[in-house]
Amino acid sequence: GESVGLHLPTLSVQEGDNSIINCAYSNSASDYFIWYKQESGKGPQFIIDIRSNMDKRQGQRVTVLLNKTVKHLSLQIAATQPGDSAVYFCAENMEEASGTYKYIFGTGTRLKVLA
Amino acid sequence: DSGVTQTPKHLITATGQRVTLRCSPRSGDLSVYWYQQSLDQGLQFLIQYYNGEERAKGNILERFSAQQFPDLHSELNLSSLELGDSALYFCASSQVGQGASEQYFGPGTRLTVT
């Protein structure tokens, strides 16, 4: 498959442990955030989202935390599995002065799950 | 499978040439987004169309253009290609035109310019 981001920061986690992936976003006016997972050779896949009026949201084995004070987003994966190995991107949705919206993606973190 | 399709999967062409990438959104989605992903970079937003009209523009070069047709499929045209245009090009679709909305990504087109 294709290699994405050969020089991305890498997080190595033992299978069964919890993973925490962090992201700093750029715009304090952004009001919607998404975490995506991208496996080798595939397009990004939605994991979980959160709106700016929340600070925590839980899904199945995943939790997203939002700290607007320091413009920080984190993704927690419980009981990490080999299938979780991928590159993870955060994205912020912001409204521009023109009234249009656009997504800004972070550079990504590679998660490696060790057996 | 996201329901978004992209063709071709791979494309190899020479500098100075022109190519067209095609995207069909998920059934019912009116918005199409185009992104470029280079080897060491994240996703760079290029352009968005909603129901046939341009809705938002990102870091799209003047050599690049896109359109969305009445059947909602979209094409991204890349001309006067340069080596630096080699990248993965993703299309995504969503139901809404703006604001917070989950985007569904296609499998991408790998463009190699030689």
Confidence category of residue B38, pLDDT binned at 50, 70, 90 = confident
Q: Which residues of A touch B99 (CB under 8 A)?
A: 32, 93, 101
Give the closest-approach CA distance of A25 to chain B in angstroms: 13
The identity of residue B86, as a single letter, is S
- Mean pLDDT for B58-64 is 92
Range from A17-26, A53-62, A94-103 carrying the lowest mean pLDDT = A94-103
Query: Token pair for residue B14?
Result: 């020479």
Tokens of B101: 């909305």
How many angstroms separate the CA of residue A102 from the nearest CA in chain B?
Answer: 7
DSSP state for residue A98 in the 8-state scheme? T
pLDDT of B12 above 80: yes
pLDDT tier at A112, thresholds 50, 70, 90: very high
d(CA B34, CA A60): 29
Q: How many CB pairs under 8 A join A and B?
A: 76
List, for residues A2-47, the tens digit of each pLDDT value.
Answer: 344 556 899 999 999 999 999 999 888 888 999 999 998 889 999 9
Phi/psi class of residue A99: alpha, beta or left (left: φ > 0; alpha: ψ in -120 to 50)?
Answer: left
Is A70's Cβ below 8 Å from some Cβ in B?
no
Phi, psi dihedrals of residue B13, rounded to the nearest 5°? -145, 175
What is the DSSP-derived secondary structure letter of residue A5? -
Q: What is the CA radius of gyration of chain B?
A: 13
Cβ of residue A56 closer than 8 Å to a chain B Cβ: no
Q: Which residues contact B71 (CB under 8 A, 6 or more apart)?
A: none
